[in-house]
Copies of this chain bind each other. A is one copy, B any other.
Amino acid sequence: MSHLDVQNRRIENGFRLTRVGITGVRKPIIVSRHDKDNHVTAEIDLFVDLPSTQKGSHMSRNVEILTEMIDESVRRKATSLEELAAKICRELLDRHEYASYGEVNMRADYFLEKTTDTGRNSLEPFKLIARATAKRGNELMKLIGVEVEGMTACPCAMETVRTRIAGDSPKMAEAIGDMPMITHNQRNQTTLMIEVPEHVDIEADDLIDVVESSLSSPTYGILKREDEASVVINAHRHPKFVEDVVRDILGKILDRYGQLDDSVHVTVRSESEESIHKHNAFAERITTLGELRAIEDK
């Protein structure tokens, strides 16, 4: 060992460190799936743990791994962001021989073609989230996640408005019937993440579908007049609290991934940029498939 290897020095009275590494690395990645290449720019964090006896982690090894596995293998495309994260995570444990834990986090912009009510195609932006974690000697765990922007319309204000307007006259009450009434609606940001053992395959596109179908309405870049009205009417026919969004997603996750193990972790978070307030409304469930099933059985 060179005396210049300051990181490798033995120290006494050190403390173990949970995570040591680099954050904010940006890299272009090609994800090739179902015969389609997605070129994404990922923001990446890499960590290993550090035993109490060693002064420093060799952080340049982290960048070497990224360079070899991403920069120099442009032609070896990743089949998914989480699969690439898993490979990098294994390399982390290989090259940091002193580490017992490795972690790789990635986030990237992602685009999917969606179709509006009138059949117009619109290329919509989403965020992909991938994480791989491994304890040496144990199976690697991978997390697949999506961030989806959409629309929520408030069911509570809708009922209060209906009562107030219907209260003006019985004739009005009859006319409006169960017509969707005005309410506040707004941009909503919902995150869905599932953590599974490495051999399990989850499609990010499916997670985006689960979230979009649980909002008051998906949103689109391009909307001509008739599409716009359809989105507005659709959203007001499905008024939802953030609580409803999270629960509808949980129900669909149980339906779609019922075959997976009880230990699978699920995180759902929904935040609405309330148009009537300057603050946001927020709902979250952090759970396992096992817990969700137990509740369902009640």
- Cβ contact within 8 Å between B22 and A279: yes
Q: Is A283 an interface residue (CB 8 A)?
A: yes
- Cβ contact within 8 Å between A160 and B285: no
Residues of A in contact (CB 8 Å), total 114
A171 to chain B, nearest CB (A): 7
A267 to chain B, nearest CB (A): 9
* Docked pose: A284 CA to B20 CA in angstroms: 6
Chain B residues with CB under 8 Å of A23's CB are 271, 279-282
Known contacts A16-B295, A222-B60, A157 near B229 by CB under 8 Å: yes
- Cβ contact within 8 Å between A18 and B287: yes
Known contacts A22-B280, A71-B121, A163 near B4 by CB under 8 Å: yes
Closest residue to A54 on the B side, CB-wise? B243
**Contacting A228 at CB < 8 Å: which of B41, B122, B123, B160?**
B160
- Cβ contact within 8 Å between A243 and B60: no
Q: Is A187 an interface residue (CB 8 A)?
A: yes
**Contacting A124 at CB < 8 Å: which of B228, B278, B292?**
B278
* Docked pose: A45 CA to B279 CA in angstroms: 9
* Docked pose: A296 CA to B181 CA in angstroms: 39
* Docked pose: A149 CA to B285 CA in angstroms: 30
* Docked pose: A155 CA to B284 CA in angstroms: 34
Known contacts A151-B276, A182-B233, A278-B149, A111 near B28 by CB under 8 Å: yes
Stretch at the interface among A79-87, A136-144, A196-204, A246-254: A246-254
- Cβ contact within 8 Å between A182 and B225: no
Closest residue to A72 on the B side, CB-wise? B121
Q: Is A277 an interface residue (CB 8 A)?
A: yes
17 A-B residue pairs with CB within 8 Å: A4-B225, A27-B125, A28-B39, A59-B281, A60-B222, A64-B222, A67-B222, A164-B233, A175-B176, A182-B233, A184-B231, A186-B273, A187-B275, A219-B276, A219-B277, A221-B277, A275-B275
A55-B243, A63-B221 provided; 4 other pairs, C-beta below 8 A? A23-B279, A157-B229, A221-B279, A275-B275
